[in-house]
Structures are given as structure tokens and as C-alpha cells.
Amino acid sequence: MNLLLTEVAQATRRLADAGVPSPRFDAEELASFVHGVGRGELHRVADADFDARYWEAVARREAREPLQHITGRAFFRYLELRVGPGVFIPRPETESVAGWAIDAVRAMDVAEPVVVDLCTGSAAIALALAQEVPRSRVHAVELDEGALRWARENIAAVPEGSRVSLHQGDALTALTELNGQVDLVVANPPYIPLTEWEYVAPEARDHDPGLALFSGEDGLDTIRGLERAAHRLLRPGGVVVVEHADTQGGQVPWVFAEDRGWADAADHPDLNNRPRFATARREVP
């Protein structure tokens, strides 16, 4: 075993002892980042090329600084996004949300679907839709200036960004000019109850913006507001997709009730088969 692989094994043990959820992956990803090679090529790094910066990176991760803050990158579906302090780091479970939205837009009999991504953060969902549904026109809304800086970078970094319009504003009141014209609204809003602050993983609690995490005593305040915003924006027959916590399965579809003008409200599982996002269709008169 070469020096680097030995160091990766030691780093894995250190990260595991620190409570890092995926110690082996993170140890390899940090080595990959420091040496500029793919994770599958680490065995090719010669002992003479070992870089002491690796242990600096491991120490930061050991202190529960997010992996993505150390590397400056996050992978989301087919995208490599730029991330760092001030923006919510996209999670793998959100890929299921984006995937459902992409499939729904593809299935629509619309020449140029209009999509709105509320609470866009890094613009991960907006860019995934623009990339995988080339005929779509995507509007991304974000309130926080810190997150907007990262969204602008990500949108400017890929060709698909030319079809993403970024708007600074409140997700609940933005884009009145599009009222009744949108085919799909998607959102990964804040949904953690304030009462659960102490149970949130350090990577999120201490590094993600609080504005992107917490939403009222039951975590549903923003989702309730998004229900009205989506109803305002969508055309009759248009669809809304909203991520929520797995513990909120069964609650969120009730927010999109029939007496509020919705049909087909339902929950959907993530890759781990846990209820993760809700969908509904604006009722056709």
C-alpha cells in the first residue's frame, strides 16, 4: 500500500471517531481534491507526491466543517456546483426532487415550459432543469445575498445558465408578472422546526444559513406560504413539487388541500424510501 492510501485509512479512522457520517468517502474525496485526481486514481499518486495539505483538510473535516466547504464543490445530478459559506449545500436526497420535476416537465405537452425554482440557493435545481430539459425557461428566486453570489457563479459557469433567470426576492411574493403562466413550481424550502435546533447535524446547524434551515415551530411555515405562491404562479393543470423532512411525510400533502384549489396531492419517497417531497396539481376549473 502506498503512502497516500495508508494516510487515507488513518484519516478514515479519525473522521469516524469524530462522528462524520461517511468517513471513508470523505477521506478519499479530500485526497482526490488535494491531489487533483479522481477517487479511483488515488493508488497512482506516488509517495513522493504526498501533500501535507491533506492533513490540514482532514483536520477541518474532523471539526465537522462541511466537506463541500473544504473542496469548494458539490455534485448534483450531472452538475459540479461551486459552494461555500453563505449558501445551503445541496444534498443527495434533493436529486430525487429534481428528478421528479424533470420527468414531469418532460411529460408536459408544452413547447417551452416555464419553470420557477423558489428558494434556489446554489441554483442546483434550476440548473438541473435547464440542463436536462433544454426547451425549458427557468426562473430562480433567492432572497439572501450570500446565497445569490453562489447562484450567480454557478449560473455563469455552465452553458445552460443562459436559460436561467435569477431574481432576488421573497419566494412567497416574487414574480407576480408570471401569475397564472407557470407550468411547474419546485422548491427546497427551509423545513426544520425551531424546536429541533439541537438535533441538527453540526455541518448544517453551524455552517448552512439559518434562513435555509428553520421555519417555525413545526417547520411548515414556509411551505404554507409556498402553497399560496405556487397557486398564484401556476396555470390550471400546472404542478408544484416541494421537498420536506422525512418526519413530515403525510403532513405536507394536506397543505395542498382540495378546498384550496389543488388536486392529486401526494407524498413521494427519496432514494432511501423515506417520504421526502410532496407534489400537487393546480385544479383545472
The residue whose grid cell reads 384550496 is: 260
Residue % of the chain over a pLDDT of 90: 73
What pLDDT band is residue 2 in, cutting at 50, 70 and 90? low
Report how far Cα 148 is from the mean position of its chain's Cα atoms: 14
The 10s digit of each residue's pLDDT in 197-213 is 878 888 889 898 888 98
The 10s digit of each residue's pLDDT in 73-93 is 999 999 999 999 999 999 988
Please compute the mean of the pLDDT values over residues 114-140 and round it to a whole number.
97
pTM for the whole thing? 0.91
Query: Is pLDDT above 70 for 8?
Result: yes
The 10s digit of each residue's pLDDT in 95-115 is 999 999 999 999 999 999 999
CA distances in angstroms from 173 to 4, 112, 207, 220, listed in the order given: 52, 24, 27, 17
What pLDDT band is residue 271 in, cutting at 50, 70 and 90? confident
Question: Using CA atoms, how far apart are residues 254 and 267, in angstroms rounded to an integer?
Answer: 10
pLDDT of residue 54: 87
DSSP letter for 283, please: P
Which among 135, 154, 9 has a CA at the least distance from the CA of 73? Answer: 154
Q: Which helix (H) or strand (E) holds 51?
A: none
pLDDT of residue 264: 95
Q: Which of these ranges, 30-39, 46-55, 241-250, 265-274, has the smallest mean pLDDT?
A: 46-55
pLDDT of residue 49: 58
What pLDDT band is residue 150 in, cutting at 50, 70 and 90? very high
SS3 of 197-243: the string is HHHCCHHHHCCCCHHHCECCCCCCHHHHHHHHHHHHHEEEEEEEEEE
Q: DSSP characters for 72-120? A: SEEEETTEEEE--TTSPPPPTHHHHHHHHHHHHHHTS--SS-EEEEES-
Given a contact cutoff of 8 angstroms between Cβ atoms, the answer to whether 13 and 57 are in contact is: no
Residue 44 corresponds to which cell in the numbers above?
497512482
Which among 258, 276, 259 has a CA at the least distance from the CA of 267? Answer: 276
Query: Is pLDDT above 60 for 47?
Result: no
Which among 124, 102, 96 has a CA at the least distance from the CA of 115? Answer: 102
Q: Which of these ranges, 100-109, 180-189, 212-221, has the smallest mean pLDDT?
A: 212-221
CA distances in angstroms from 261 to 40, 244, 257, 265, 281, listed in the order given: 51, 21, 7, 11, 9
What pLDDT band is residue 50 in, cutting at 50, 70 and 90? low
Query: Is pLDDT above 90 for 188?
Result: yes
Please compute the mean of the pLDDT values over residues 159-182 and round it to a whole number.
96
Phi, psi of 261 (to 5 degrees): 95, 25
